[in-house]
Amino acid sequence: MSKFIIQGNKKLKGAITTNTSKNAAVALLCASLLNKGTTELMDFPRIEETQRIIEVLTSLGVKFKWLKEHHLKIMPPSKINLNNLNEEAACKTRIIILLAGALIHEFSSFKLPKAGGCSLGKRSVRPHFFALESFGIKCASAKNYYSFSKNKLHPADNLVLYESGDTVTENSLLAAAKIKGKTVIKFASANYQVQDMCYFLQKLGVKISGVGATTLIVEGLGSIKKNIKYYLTEDPIESMFFISLAATTKSSITIKRCPIDFLELELLKLDKMGFKYKILKRYKAKNNHGNLVDLKTFPSRLKALDDKIYGRPYPGLNIDNLPFFVPIATQAKGRTFIHDWAFENRAIYFIEFNKLGAKVTLNDQHRCYIDGVTPLKAAEVICPPALRPGAVLIVGMLAAQGVSVLRNIYSIERGYENLSERLKQLGAGIIKEKD
């Protein structure tokens, strides 16, 4: 385990560049199993979460080669071997469920270990089962594993998703991509990682219409063998991390390559809270799909919103961006009401801010009040076993007076690459050490 030692209460300055998306990267690793040709993923994030999936796929016989630091070449085996599946790596990430939609094209039956990832409460796989059953897949859950089997696959001409989830939409896309015929997916997620998967599958030759909407029409292929290169687009959740950091520390920084289509509502809420920023430049992502901006922040006097702040499926405020309003709210005059309805346990982690001197009142496992403005003070805290609640504590500690220690930071390193070194570029006082 490692820890961060953080010297807070420093005004930050300079520029930082948003990295590409963790959630898209792990999904495209799973999607690469559909391709019998070679897949090259550019601007690929080298983080703990992607490394776990690489370990799993390596155990299946997939070959990987780093052509450059963030340029990954994926070479499929002639035959996937499930006998040596790396269960230790698989159990550390919830995204392992996406292998179901990819592997069903290769095997008549198989098992996957039960998923891990963030500890955020009950995260049901039933939506995945209901979706996959629409393609003729039998799904079952046992104590330690999920099982999947098929007789004959068929397209799903009217697949209504049980919930508008990112991974369930992706699993449906993976199943539909290699089944000849037309699949219609309704109540689909239109979130950034889903769009990235759609563009990736289009690169493989799969016809998909409705990208960015809640109904997707997929014309599946019987087989896929194509050598492709694909640029991942930037991560709006990482952009929001730096936006939250600037707002909480009252710093003027430039955040480059922000995927603006997935940040507009967050920025509108912040604008109404008094946050000042300016868009310096607009341009396309390297994959020619994403819309990016360079954004400059300014020190701002913040006030609480009268209305509650809550996450929703896109185009609502991103559910993963909601926690970044917690440190901001500690520095906003008045009472902020945050409703984290999607996860049973995530809001409970927000009271960790009270160790930093914040005034967070937990109403129940989904809702809390945050009273501001409160001066934050240094503390020693064990990082929650969840990525975003851990990341927001870094924001709070960088705004706090004194030296803080955040221990057991693996959950943060699942999603952020070289975070301490990148923060130092902004003048942050942060050191990573072995614990």
What are the strands of the beta sheet with 13-17, ordered from one edge?
Answer: 13-17, 252-259, 291-298, 276-284
For residues 243, 374, 337 and 412, what is the CA-based torsion angle, rounded to 10 degrees? 50
Residue in this structure with the two tokens 């006998």, named with its chain if needed: 83
Same domain, yes or no: 175 and 28: yes
Strand 215-220 relative to strand 228-231: parallel, antiparallel, unpaired? unpaired
- Asked, as a colleague might, if the bond just before 315 is cis with ω within 30 of 0, I would say yes
Same domain, yes or no: 276 and 195: no
Average pLDDT over residues 197-208: 98
User: Per residue in 229-286, pLDDT tens?
Assistant: 999 999 999 999 999 999 999 999 999 999 999 999 999 999 999 999 999 999 999 9
Same domain, yes or no: 43 and 178: yes
Q: What angle (nearest 5°) sits at the alpha carbon of residue 330, between those of residues 240 and 392?
A: 40
Q: Answer whether residue 206 shows pLDDT above 60.
A: yes
Q: What angle (nearest 5°) sits at the alpha carbon of residue 149, between those of residues 144 and 151?
A: 170
User: Per residue in 148-157, pLDDT tens?
Assistant: 999 999 999 9
Under 8 Å between Cβ of 96 and 52: no
Domain that holds residue 274: 2-19+234-434
- The secondary structure of residue 400, as a DSSP letter, is S
Same domain, yes or no: 179 and 317: no
Same domain, yes or no: 246 and 170: no
Same domain, yes or no: 226 and 243: no
Q: Answer whether residue 410 shows pLDDT above 80.
A: yes
pLDDT at 115: 72
HEC sequence for 194-250? HHHHHHHHHHCCCEEECCCCCEEEEEECCCCCCCEEEECCECHHHHHHHHHHHHHHC
Strand 332-339 relative to strand 367-372: parallel, antiparallel, unpaired? antiparallel
Strand 215-220 relative to strand 181-186: parallel, antiparallel, unpaired? antiparallel
User: Per residue in 7-51, pLDDT tens?
Assistant: 999 999 999 999 999 999 999 999 999 999 999 999 999 999 999
Same domain, yes or no: 162 and 238: no
Domain CATH number, residue 215: 3.65.10.10
Same domain, yes or no: 140 and 238: no
Q: Answer whether residue 427 shows pLDDT above 90.
A: yes
Comparing 70 with 120, the larger pLDDT belongs to: 70
Three-class SS state of 297: strand
Please say which residue of 200, 231, 262 terminates a domain.
231
Same domain, yes or no: 191 and 269: no
Q: What angle (nearest 5°) sits at the alpha carbon of residue 209, between those of residues 205 and 210?
A: 145
Band of pLDDT at residue 116, cut at 50, 70 and 90: low
Model confidence, pTM: 0.96
Computed on alpha carbons and rounded to an integer, the radius of gyration of the chain in Å comes to 21
Same domain, yes or no: 190 and 271: no
Q: Answer whether residue 132 shows pLDDT above 80.
A: yes
Strand 145-150 relative to strand 137-141: parallel, antiparallel, unpaired? antiparallel
Average pLDDT over residues 289-300: 98
Same domain, yes or no: 287 and 209: no
Give the separation between CA 58 and CA 378, rounded to whole angstroms. 42
Cross-strand bridge partners of residue 159: 185
Give the separation between CA 410 and CA 412, rounded to whole angstroms. 5
Q: Answer whether residue 383 shows pLDDT above 60.
A: yes
Under 8 Å between Cβ of 96 and 118: no
Same domain, yes or no: 145 and 258: no
Q: Which of 253, 265, 236, 250 is nearest to 372 (CA)?
A: 250
**How many domains in the chain?**
2
Q: Which of 129, 223, 212 is nearest to 177 (CA)?
A: 223
Average pLDDT over residues 65-76: 97
Please say which residue of 231, 260, 287 terminates a domain.
231
Please say which residue of 231, 250, 280 terminates a domain.
231
pLDDT at 430: 98
